[in-house]
Structure formats: structure tokens, C-alpha cells
Structure 1
Amino acid sequence: MNVFDTTERAPGEQGARLSKAEVTPPARMLTWRGVDGGRLESARVLTSGGRLRALGQIIAAATDDTPALTVSYELHLDDQGGVRRLLVHSITAEEERHLSISHSREGIWLVDRGDNLTGGEQRVERTELDGALDVDLAGSALFATLPVNRLGLTPESGAQDVPMAFVGLPDLAVEPVQRRYELVRDEPEGRIVALTSNESTVELVMDADGFTLDCPGLARRI
């Protein structure tokens, strides 16, 4: 049964509600294909100021180093663009793993390795992860350029060393790593970001909203 709203509203109230809806950023669906054809990542992303909520999934075929796997994640960034919480669920033919990692305003990371799906013992670790504010999820193109957004990098900013919490796949191990980001130039295809990790540098391409378009050696957006 259809029910019509006949509530009387003050003049201008309906227009105010419409205006509020109009300024709410719409959600986006972003999809990346692995450069080797064996990986696909898709994420629904909703942003509001510095805040971000992303629901994503990675499906990857087996390689010489890793088994075939499916990974789902839920990421929340705070109003400064730093990670507030990340949930990851990793599935291979042999096992399932679950990880919850959250960051407090006091700078403490809570890493919960308990696997409630299989009745595993809950294990929560408190750590500072070398002062990290960002997370890098292995094999994810979405996470690759998020620190650029938080730092508000420009070509004039120069290179910035960024401590990060790195989440490995499929074991979901968490360790502190150091990355270096530099927004080097703007080109017609997008903004070029030099990312240095383990003394190796690649040039990422990101769109005007700061999301990855091309991550050399990993994936391109489709």
C-alpha cells in the first residue's frame, strides 16, 4: 500500500531538505583489474569532507607466491583522513581469517586477530605501529593513494615520509612500514604520484578526487 505524506511543513522546509540532499556526495563504485588479468578489486566509496567509508572486495587467482583468495574489507577514515577502523576477511581454500584494526585519538592501534567465524581465541594487541595514521592493504589499489589525500600534497610540497600499518594477504599479518609519497606533476591522464617503498619507486596515477587510476605492476581502473 502506498502511503502519501500529507504533513504540513513550514514554507521553505521542503526546499531546505532537498538542498541538503543535493550537497550530499553520491557513492561511487570503483573497479580495478590486475595487470596480469588474475586479480579484480571493486569498492563502493562514500566520502564527506575528510571522512571516507569504503566497502570492497578483492578476488585473486593463485600465483607462485600466494594461493587463490577472496578478500572483503570495510574501511572508515576520520574527518582528518586518517584510518579510524579497518575490517578485513580473507578466505582461501585452506582457511578463513578475520582482522579488525582500529586507531584511537591517543595514537594507539587495537589489532584484533580473533576469528569469530571458527571459534578461535580472541587476541587483541595494543601497539603504536611507529606512529602510523594510514593503512596499506596488500594488493589493493584503493589504499595506494589514500595518504596523498590526507596530507593534501601538492607538487610544491616535496616528498613526505609516511609511516603506515601494512596488512599482508592472506595471513592478515600487521607490521609497520615506511613509504615516501611525492606529488610530482599533473598530466592529462591524471595526477602523478611517486611512491617509494623498499628503495623501489613507482609512479601512480590518481584522479582529481585522489583515487588510484593506475598502480604500475598491480592494477588499472576500468
Structure 2
Amino acid sequence: MNIPDTTERAPGEPGTRSSNAEAAPSALPARMLTWQGADGGRLESARVLISGRRLRALGQIIVAGTDVAPAVTVSYELHLDDRGGVRRLLVHSVTAEEERHLSISHSHEGIWLVDRGDNLTAGEQRVERTELDGAVDIDLAGSALFATMPINRLGLRAEAGAHDVPMAFVSLPDLAVEPVRRRYELVRADDTATVVALTSGGNTVEVVVDADGFSLDHPGLARRI
């Protein structure tokens, strides 16, 4: 029996079909990116495929336990739409005590659909419809990949400017979702790297990204290895 392949891919990835192949941007070769946390206790690795502003990423974050926080393993699947905003994110968080799941999707009308699965705390609804303060981006706690996603969407590697960006913040390990604001401002750019000042909660760091907008060095968070 033939089982159809329902895996979702970015345009141009082997296995995709398009009724207008000439109009779809060519996908770049898939990349494997790995970051080590600034404290040495966190590792993130992701396979990313980009096509224009679309992106598909499959990643994992492993956080070592401490005296005040549990060890956590997180897997995620991220899809960006043709405008560079989040279309869908699936997250699975595992600690020694529990597993939690989150599915969050965003429509072009600006509505987020947040599905927390079956692992709910008191007072939580399984599915919530929300605007999340107008966010189109997501920041996943501890992730070097997610923190730089607005840079490409805003064109900061090509145009100077500062942007106050509403984002949906997903915390770990509970996968709670709340609106936050970040400020992104281009510091300098050349053919090899771009430096962007990122302000969050009154703290500003200068993040270095490569030619594709992926983090090379995020002070206090992670460095690419």
C-alpha cells in the first residue's frame, strides 16, 4: 500500500509541487545550524530551509538542569510565510516531571490560534483565539534561531532603521504564551555579517548575524559553533 507523503516543505524542497513554479522563489540548500549557550548549559541545533522569506526549521534545544531549574529537552517545527511572519509553530517540551505540547498558528487576518494540547494547568483553555498585541513573530525562550527571525522580515540587513516589534513569547518549560515587545536597530552591515542592536526589557545587546540572517553571536544567549 502506498502511503502519501504529507510532510510540509518550503517551496523548492524536493518533493514539493507547484502550479506556478516560475513564480516561486528558489530554495537555498538546507543548512544545519548549532549554537552553544553562553552559560555552557544549553545547546540548540536546527535544520533550516529558506525560500525567499519563507522558512521551515526543525530544531531541538537541550538545557542542563540546575539547582533552581529542571533539565529540559525541547523540539520545535517552525514555518514562516511568504512575508517572513510566523505561519505555524509546533513545540514539544519534556522534563523529568512532565511533557507539554503547543501548537500556535497565525492567519493573514492577524488572529493567533493557540492550542495547548491536553496538558493544561488550572484555568487554562485548550484552544485560544487571540491577537497577541498585533504580533507576527515568535520568540521561543532560550532559542538563538527565533530571536533573529524579525531581522529578515524587516529587511534590516539592507536598510537602516529601528523597529519596535510586538512578538509572541513562548516560555520554557511550561510553553506559556504572552505578548512582549523587542526593539531591533541596524548598527552596521557588510558582505559577511550584520550587527543589530536588540533591546529587550531595558537591556540592549549587539547581535551578529550571517548573510542569511541567522545568529552568529548573541551576547548573553548563545554563539554559533
TM range, smaller chain: 0.7 to 0.9
**Kept after mapping to 1: 8 A contact 2:114/2:127:** yes
Answer yes or no: is the 8 Å Cα contact 2:85–2:137 preserved in 1: yes
1:10-159 equivalence runs, <5 A? 23-115=26-118, 123-154=126-157, 156-159=159-162
DSSP-derived class of the 2:148 partner: helix
Q: Which residue of the other structure, out of 203, 208, 212, is the alignment partner of 2:206?
A: 203
Larger of the two Rg values belongs to structure: 1
Give the fraction of aligned pairs with identical amino acids, expressed as a percent.
Answer: 80
Cα contact 1:101–1:109 (8 A) shared by 2: yes
Q: Tell me whether 1:217 sits opposite 2:220 in the alignment.
A: yes
Deviations 1:13-45 (A, max 9, x none): xxxxxxx9xx54210000001122111100000
Change (3 A) 1:188 1:108: closer
Residues 201 and 46 of structure 1, relative CA distance in 2, 3 Å threshold: same
2:131 and 2:170 map into 1 onto residues whose CA distance is 15
Structure 1: gaps of 5 or more residues: 1-19
Residue range with higher mean Cα deviation, 58-67 or 132-141: 58-67
Q: Show the counterpart of 2:179.
A: 176
Change in Cα spacing, 1:139 to 1:102, as seen in structure 2 (3 Å) is: same
1:47-103 deviation line (CA, Å, top 9, x unaligned): 111100000000010135421010000000000000000000000000000000000
Per the alignment, residue 164 of structure 2 pairs with: 161
CA distance, structure 1, for counterparts of residue 63 and residue 192 of structure 2: 27
Q: CA deviation at 1:188?
A: 8.0
Contact 1:51 1:79 in 2 (8 A): yes
Contact kept in structure 1, 2:27 and 2:49, CA below 8 Å = no
Aligned length: 197
- Distance (whole Å) between structure 1 residues aligned to residue 57 and residue 212 of structure 2: 14
1:194 aligns with 2:197: yes
Alpha carbons 2:192, 2:211 under 8 Å: kept: no
The Cα shift of 1:186 comes to: 2.6
CA RMSD of aligned residues (A): 1.9
Q: Say whether the 8 Å CA contact 1:73–1:86 is kept in structure 2.
A: yes
Per-residue CA shift, 1:162-194, capped at 9, x if unaligned? 000000000000000010000111368721110
Q: Is the 8 A contact 2:44 2:61 kept in 1?
A: yes
Query: Where does the alignment leave 5 or more consecutive residues of structure 2 unmatched?
Result: 1-21
The Cα shift of 1:113 comes to 0.6
1:147 counterpart SS class = helix
Distance 1:133 1:70, change over 3 A: same
Deviation for aligned residue 1:115: 2.9
